[in-house]
Amino acid sequence: MLRKRSISRQVLDATYAVVFVLLLLPSTLNGVAGTAGVGVLVGFGIALAFRRRSPRWSLALAWVLAVVQMVGGVLPLSADTAIFAILYCSAAYGDNLVRRLGLVSAVVGGVIAALYLAYVDGDPFSAPREEVIREPRLVQFAFLLAGLWAMLGLSWALGRLAYARRTAIESAHARELAEVHQARAEHEVAIEQERNRIARDMHDIVAHSLAVVIAQADGARYVRTVDPAAVDTALTTISGTARDALSDVRVLLGQLRHSQGDLPNPTPGDLERLLDQMRATGLTIDSSVDTTEVPLGAGAHLALYRIAQESLTNALRHGDPHKPVTVAIESDSAGIELTVRNSMSSTRPMSESGGHGVAGMKERAGLSGGTCTASGDGSTWTVTAWLPAATSTKGIG
């Protein structure tokens, strides 16, 4: 199989092969090998030209040339040094099979070459049999085998080291690229989460503020003839609600522009002001707030406030205005629980799947490590949220 290589590297290999043939051509022509030696030299030059592009075929051609050289009785040539480069490339650029074949070639080729050099002189079939087993030839064979194995094995080992180094560099680059993609994906997820958070805040601010403004405006229109002072109170409430909403929206817009900053973190006093503000709209609220201080995180504080705000806004918009809304906050060492219950209106039904308010409350509680449920039984609508204390892991899923 041909391996894809850059054009410049192919040209370099071909140039190296041509220079190799031209440098050794004079000594080969002047030697005793003659035309057969020139053919072997050219063959090794071709093997060198595509040793990196196709190590498998280069190694196969080297074996063919070695067999031809031995069968033709051609004595060892300088061109045989090309075998070292071919073995190197089989280990450095070949696949697993080619690397194994290169190692086998180094071992088996060393044995065959040592036998040929030790026992064959000219014609490989002319040596007397009794001369084959003489002791001097055995010693010569042993030394030749050790030397050939050392050189051939070293060539293959160097190629294997080059392959390991290249693989390590490629793996490092792949890891760096994967880390870049992971960081980019995490950044995109963080951006999407921030957009969702801002969208939730915008929904809570606008929905709550408009509900209060509408309720106050409608109430002032109805009572202006019998209680003119109530109109001033309503207008004051509308003005304060609008200013607070405008301030919060400006903070959100600043986050969109600069990707930094948060809305001011609500405090227990803000929750009391929220209840007073909703009472000012005409909503009757029976509250029971546990004053025990619970160490909530910043996210849980904001979630508690927004869930209470959304629940009361829904009660104002969809609940029965003639019946009170109960708000209960209970706390212990594990966390804090908020329960908002209101009567349902037959003309303005509430639905768990309608709008984004319920989904936003559940998402806020979940991001803070808590839970939130919202459901009705036909006559009442109940929102229950539990948020863990800062030192508690309960409810984190």
Q: Please, what sign has the CA dihedral across residues 265, 269, 270, 271?
A: positive
Considering the domain boundaries, does residue 126 fall inside one? Answer: yes
Give the pLDDT band (50/70/90) at residue 157: very high
- Indicate if 174 and 290 belong to the same structural domain: no
pLDDT beyond 60 at 317: yes
The stretch 153-161 carries a mean pLDDT of: 92
- Indicate if 176 and 286 belong to the same structural domain: no
Compare 52 and 367 and report the one with higher pLDDT.
52
- Indicate if 177 and 286 belong to the same structural domain: no
Give the pLDDT band (50/70/90) at residue 57: very high
The stretch 279-307 carries a mean pLDDT of: 80
Considering the domain boundaries, does residue 272 fall inside one? Answer: no
Mean pLDDT of the chain: 78
139-153 pLDDT per residue, tens: 888 888 898 899 988
328-350 pLDDT per residue, tens: 998 888 888 999 999 887 665 66
- Indicate if 36 and 149 belong to the same structural domain: yes
Considering the domain boundaries, does residue 196 fall inside one? Answer: no
Give the pLDDT band (50/70/90) at residue 237: confident
The stretch 348-367 carries a mean pLDDT of: 70
What pLDDT does residue 252 have?
61
Give the pLDDT band (50/70/90) at residue 257: low
What pLDDT does residue 127 have?
44
Give the pLDDT band (50/70/90) at residue 29: confident
pLDDT beyond 80 at 132: no
76-94 pLDDT per residue, tens: 677 888 899 999 999 999 8
Statement: the pTM of the whole predicted model exceeds 0.85: no
- Indicate if 64 and 177 belong to the same structural domain: yes
- Indicate if 167 and 293 belong to the same structural domain: no
Considering the domain boundaries, does residue 392 fall inside one? Answer: yes
Q: CATH number of the domain that 301 lies in?
A: 3.30.565.10
Residue where a domain terminates, one of 181, 211, 238: 181
Q: Domain residues for 314? A: 282-397
Residue where a domain terminates, one of 181, 204, 220: 181
Give the pLDDT band (50/70/90) at residue 184: confident
- Indicate if 162 and 41 belong to the same structural domain: yes
Considering the domain boundaries, does residue 55 fall inside one? Answer: yes
Task: Work out how many domains the chain is built from and give that number.
Answer: 2
What pLDDT does residue 165 have?
92
The stretch 359-370 carries a mean pLDDT of: 82
Considering the domain boundaries, does residue 230 fall inside one? Answer: no
Residue where a domain terminates, one of 152, 181, 210: 181
Considering the domain boundaries, does residue 246 fall inside one? Answer: no
Give the pLDDT band (50/70/90) at residue 124: very low
What pLDDT does residue 130 have?
46
The stretch 354-380 carries a mean pLDDT of: 80
Considering the domain boundaries, does residue 249 fall inside one? Answer: no
